[in-house]
Structure 1
Amino acid sequence: MKYVVLIGDGMADEPLEEIGGMTVLQKANTSNMDYITTYGRAGLAQTVPEGLAPGSDVANMSIVGYDPKKYYSGRAPLEAASMGVELEKDDVAFRCNLITIKDDLITDYSSGHITNNEAKEIIETVDAELGDERFSFHPGISYRHLMVSKNSLGANTECVPPHDVIDENRHEHMPKGEDSEVISELIESSMKILADHPVNNKRIAEGKNPGNSIWLWGQGFAPAFTAFGELYGLRGAIISAVDLVKGIGIYAGLDVIEVPGATGYLDTNYIGKAEYAMEALKDHDFVFVHVEAPDEAGHMGDMNAKIQAIEDFDEKVVGTVLKAAKEMDDDVTIMVLPDHPTPIALRTHTSVPIPVAIYCTSEENADEADAFNEESVKKGALGTVYAADLVGMLINNKWTI
């Protein structure tokens, strides 16, 4: 048996008046996910344990089979692993967003999805100006970067994700608590450094949002994972354009497969991800495929973009995998799900249980659910499951019971 897990980040949503009280999953054409739901089994999955924030870090860790209550130590350390930044015992990794601030309002958590090259130039400037024996800044992908502090500095500072406070005054959401003054000073200093940066001047002239401030959040120490192969006895791989998800894979001992053209945005190489996943199944037992696009559209509050991202995920990822799986000599079990909701109206994550559907190419296990959306799956036989148990359920075939 081979296993493929397809994650459409942030696909789940809430009813919207603009589309007659439907959710975007109900509105979108999702014929392939509907097929998996109709001829497989469906239900709800709780990806975010009580007491933890509904981030992609916690939710995807659960889906990969690691209980965040045991393994979670922060978001940024996972990204550090993917970026090749090794953390020493007392190092604290922070996510370092490049954001847009205008008139003291946080107007864009992504600086208009700034390009890698532009962002690299800006982060290198920040590191040259603010980096010292305590702090170092490391360029990542687009707006997502990393800061590392020494001697546990900032480990217990209270920081807010910028995508949670769009169009709100930055002063109300600056770091608080232990070490907050020094962390806040880094943000304030970056604004002075970047106000007249050549990259930002060029972006403004082109009508684009500038990366005129860093924003620090999601910090933590390096976690200690038990290897996926040791936990589950299978060789696994993971495909994502997002450092966070790749970092989970690295700590889990999964093979991280890079796909050309994978961007972590609406223009990602959907078909390439699916094709690389099916190729990986030739010498792997388990492949996780993560697509960020629906989540990005949710954070943008763009309903049409989110519907398009879901339809692209369904047609180009789920459809490609489903067709190829049916042609394989091995039986293939496919599981499809988001990691968490990213409601258009809220533009941030929630911890509401998400829809999940599982299908095996060797046999039909149909239940009453007949469409992949938040309501239909409630008729499914799986009920509500704890997401960290899903990998074990797949391997032990407990989802068919």
Structure 2
Amino acid sequence: MKYATEHKCGVVVKGPKLSGNISGTDPLKDNCLLLKAQPLDDSFEAKNTAEVVNELSKEITKILKSHPINKKREEEGKNIANVVLLRGCGIRIEVPSFGKNHGLAPCMVAPTKIIAGLGLSLGIDILEAPGATGDYRTLLTSKAKSIASALTAPSQPPPRVFVPGEEEFKPGRVEGYDFGFLHIKAIDDAGHDKATILKVRGLEAVDQAVGQLAKLLWQAEASGSFQYYLCVTGDHSTPVEYGDHSFEPVPFALCRLGDFVGAIGEENLDVVSLEDFPLPSVAAGVQITEVKFSPGTLVSYFGDSVSEFNEIAAARGCLGRFPGSEMMGVIKKYMKTKYE
């Protein structure tokens, strides 16, 4: 068992006759009893794994009950932390690397460990980004600078990347990378916490970070040695009214960096500050009564008529609706056919 991010941890069970096809112990709702893992098929492996996980769950509770922190909490009349909710069981599989599949040298900034784990499984280098925490305290500027540095090498020193098994960062590719993935988790957290103001302010902060990333990349592209493309999307919605993941198609935006700069105006990009800024702090659960937006004039540059980034607006876009498995194909086709 290893600590991950916020309240999360990773639990690894190794041995023969195991399966990832079991349910979890998390009831997914407050004030409900802890569940028992159940096999999701009739195989011996699934039944065996469910039994192992249920036994593990009992042992975790025994250890937690006797922990000094919990004993102190009990003496103070406070609730104790006596369970670990186990969910999302799976088995790591061998898959072709991202580089082999797409012919690109990839890197990512992903302090959220489940995302970083997916990246490592695909052979994607995990970049160091000081102050990036994967929660509300994260420094978005650090993420933008880390990705930009990796994508502008060799004009920059080699970025530092995570080395699995050594728990530290070492110099990455000297020649740099040509695909960067920047993950932001805090907006999802605000949805789970039903913190409407925080989610709005957080999205405004993401806008600011996108501007910082664009400025850094544009400085490199202006040298004539690089050409960049920006893609903004998500993996799911987390509505504040619901407080959990939902199933709406997510918006997807793709453009050449030069077109982005042309749309917002290079003079506006020049004044973007590259100073670090924290995500706004708003208490979870606070509801908003009125939000005043001043977006200015929204115009699309070219491609289609969409000028806003949300589920409803994106549905009118020229790409229509497509499964996530086609996303990289869409991106590479756009790069090849439009600007080769």
TM-score by length of structure 1 reads 0.59
Aligned residue number for residue 344 of structure 1: 240
Aligned residue number for residue 138 of structure 1: 2
CA positional deviation for 1:265: 0.6
Residues 1:170 and 2:107 aligned together: no
Residues 1:369 and 2:306 aligned together: yes
Secondary structure at the residue paired with 1:291? coil
Q: CA, structure 1 residues 213+376, in 2 after alignment: closer, same or farther (shift >3 Å)?
A: same
Percent same amino acid among aligned pairs?
Answer: 29
CA positional deviation for 1:204: 7.9
Distance in 1 between residues matched to 2:148 and 2:90, nearest whole Å: 34
Asked if the contact 1:242/1:292 (under 8 Å) is kept, the reply is: yes
* Higher RCO by CA contacts (8 Å cutoff, separation 6 or greater): 1
Q: CA, structure 1 residues 204+166, in 2 after alignment: closer, same or farther (shift >3 Å)?
A: farther
Of 303, 316, 321, 1:379 maps to 316
Give the counterpart letter for 1:276 in structure 2: S
TM-score by length of structure 2 reads 0.69
CA positional deviation for 1:292: 0.8
Aligned residue number for residue 57 of structure 2: 187
What are the residue-to-residue correspondences of 1:2-401 with 2, within 5 Å?
A: 137-149=1-13, 150-153=15-18, 155-159=20-24, 162=26, 165-171=28-34, 173-177=35-39, 178-179=47-48, 180-200=50-70, 211-282=81-152, 283-315=176-208, 317-329=209-221, 330-363=226-259, 364-397=301-334
Give the counterpart letter for 2:32 in structure 1: N
CA positional deviation for 1:280: 0.7
Structure 1 unmatched ranges of 5 or more: 1-136
CA positional deviation for 1:243: 1.5
Distance in 1 between residues matched to 2:78 and 2:192, nearest whole Å: 18
Give the counterpart letter for 1:331 in structure 2: Q
CA positional deviation for 1:168: 4.0
Asked if the contact 2:105/2:178 (under 8 Å) is kept, the reply is: yes
Secondary structure at the residue paired with 2:183? strand
CA positional deviation for 1:199: 3.0
After superposition, the C-alpha distances for 1:43-69 in whole angstroms (9 at most, x for unaligned) are xxxxxxxxxxxxxxxxxxxxxxxxxxx
Structure 2 unmatched ranges of 5 or more: 40-46, 153-175, 260-300
Secondary structure at the residue paired with 1:307? helix
RMSD: 2.7
Instruction: Flag the structure with larger Rg.
Output: 2
Distance in 2 between residues matched to 1:165 and 1:271, nearest whole Å: 33
CA positional deviation for 1:338: 1.6
Q: CA, structure 1 residues 156+391, in 2 after alignment: closer, same or farther (shift >3 Å)?
A: closer
Q: CA, structure 1 residues 365+325, in 2 after alignment: closer, same or farther (shift >3 Å)?
A: farther
After superposition, the C-alpha distances for 1:166-221 in whole angstroms (9 at most, x for unaligned) are 314124x3322324344233323433432352234567899998542112221222
Distance in 2 between residues matched to 1:268 and 1:204, nearest whole Å: 33
CA positional deviation for 1:319: 1.6
Normalized per residue, the structure richer in strand is 1
Q: CA, structure 1 residues 195+309, in 2 after alignment: closer, same or farther (shift >3 Å)?
A: farther
CA positional deviation for 1:239: 0.7
Secondary structure at the residue paired with 1:334? strand
Secondary structure at the residue paired with 1:275? helix
